[in-house]
Amino acid sequence: MTMTAGHTSEVRLRCDVLVIGGGPAATWAACAAASAGARVVLVDKGYCGTSGVAATAGVGHWLVPPDAALRHDAMLSRAKLGGMLSDRDWQARVLDETWRKLSELGGSGYPSARDAAGEAVVRIGQAPQYMHFMRKRVRQLGVTILDHSPALELLRAPGGEVSGARGVRRQLRQSWEVLASAVVLATGGCTWKSKSLGGDVNTGDGQLMAAEVGAQLSGMEFSSFYGIVPRHTSMDKNGYYGFATFTREDGSVIDGDLFGSRAPLLRAACEGQTFAQLDKAAPALRPIMRAAMPNFFMVLDKLRVDPFAERFPIDFVLEGTVRGTGGLHLANTECWTGVPQATQATTPLGR
């Protein structure tokens, strides 16, 4: 690393793999590349492991045991929710990779339990602790992390191949430039100004940088998911609303499947104020729910609402593409975007 004196000093690095982003996808990609022996640099516009939707709102993994019947049902259920537009091969690959990778965390020091067969079973608990662990794991593997360092553009070699990126280190008032043989864009989706929890940094800049060098976008037209929030808040963690009864102002129940079509709820919201109450959660389950997702209940506690005993007003926020719908079009199973990558980082620094 070379830095010149003064407030406009530059950080210049060379590596095998540059990862842009700081959430679950970015940290997992950095770990995979570093474990394979690559020299890796990770740059994040925030502080890796604490910024973004995952660290703020929660981490969701599609985790299904390697049982043929269970996975068939899981894939079919997700396909139906997506209008049968899902690619079954990709679904199967995600399930395999998630099950295999999460099992590695137990051996790396992440808290785990043992199942009946004695195998380590990792259960993702609170997102801040999970992301703190992932940051620690990235550093242990020797990855260079540049925090508070948003990427501004991808670099291209004379032949047009992507050969790195450049940006700024906001807190140090420095510019940075990283030459790399491969660039991984893991910047999340786009929820700009939607007010979804943690989504203020998800501005779609990764998609824009990719489009500027010729990558294609795919599926973003299907991103119409609206998250439920207690009125006047941004807390759009929605899993617990599966235990809710939804009602109108007059107390009449709103029909509809929370995890299927939210159209009845949205229609009712257009007609007047809607309410939720988590009255379907068994009393024995309630303390477990509070312990598993304290930030969800912290918001309601501040509103002086007992969500199990009282109904509370709700609103909806557009979550954009943060739930994995839409993004860069992938040209093959290696997650390549179709834009050529440099076999060597040969672009002269400073150009």
62-76: burial string, b at 16+ Cβ within 10 Å, e else: eebeeeeeebeebbe
Closest to 64 (Cα-Cα) out of 29, 24, 92, 106: 92
23-39 pLDDT, tens digit each: 999 999 999 999 999 99
Q: What is the dihedral of CA 268, 272, 273, 277, to 10 degrees?
A: -30
Across 41-45, 238-242, 341-345, the highest mean pLDDT is recorded for 41-45
CA 174 to CA 257: how far, in whole Å? 50
Place of tokens 């602790």: 129
Which amino acid makes up residue 305? V
Instruction: Among 39-48, 121-130, 139-148, name the one with the lowest average pLDDT.
Output: 121-130
User: Could you give the CA distance from residue 83 to residue 78 in angstroms, rounded to a whole number?
Assistant: 9
Tens of pLDDT, residue by residue over 226-245, are: 889 999 998 888 888 989 99
H-assigned helices in the chain: 24-35, 53-57, 68-81, 88-107, 127-140, 205-212, 263-271, 286-292, 294-302
**What's the rounded Cα separation, in Å, for the pair 266 and 245?**
15
Average pLDDT of 307-335? 85
CA distance 251 to 249: 5
DSSP one-letter string for 6-27: STT-EEEEEEEEEEE--SHHHH
Does pLDDT of 21 surpass 90? yes
Q: Using CA of residue 102, residue 48, residue 199, residue 126, what is the dihedral sign?
A: positive
Q: Which two tokens stand for residue 246?
A: 């939804």
CB atoms under 10 Å from CB of 221, counted, come to: 9
Contacts 24+ apart (CB under 8 A), 164-171: 164/18, 164/342, 164/345, 164/347, 165/18, 165/20, 165/43, 165/209, 167/43, 169/11
What is the rounded average pLDDT of the residues 280-290?
Answer: 93
CB contact at 8 A, 328 and 217: yes
Burial of 181 (0-12, 13-18, 19+ CB in 10 A): buried
* Model pTM score: 0.81
* The domain made up of 226-318 is a member of CATH 3.90.700: yes
Residue 316: closest CA among 212, 224, 187, 181: 224
Domains 10-218 and 226-318 share a fold: no
Cα dihedral across residues 80, 86, 89, 95: positive or negative: negative
Mean pLDDT of 238-254: 91
* 3-class secondary structure per residue, 24-44: HHHHHHHHHHHHCCCCEEEEC
Statement: 10-218 belongs to CATH 3.40.50.300:
no
Q: How far apart are CA 24 and CA 28, in angstroms?
A: 6
DSSP 329: P
Question: What's the average model confidence in pLDDT over 173-195?
Answer: 89
Is 161:138 a contact under the CB 8 Å cutoff? no
Place of tokens 């590596």: 15
Q: What is the DSSP string of 142-170?
A: T-EEETT--EEEEEE-TTS-EEEEEEEET
Residue recorded with tokens 């929605």: 238
Q: What is the pLDDT of residues 153-173, one digit of tens each?
A: 999 988 888 999 999 999 988
Q: What is the mean pLDDT of the chain?
A: 84
In 3D space, the residue among 59, 36, 79 whose CA is nearest the CA of residue 122 turns out to be 59
Q: Is the pLDDT of residue 287 over 70?
A: yes
Domain ranges (residues) in the chain: 10-218, 226-318
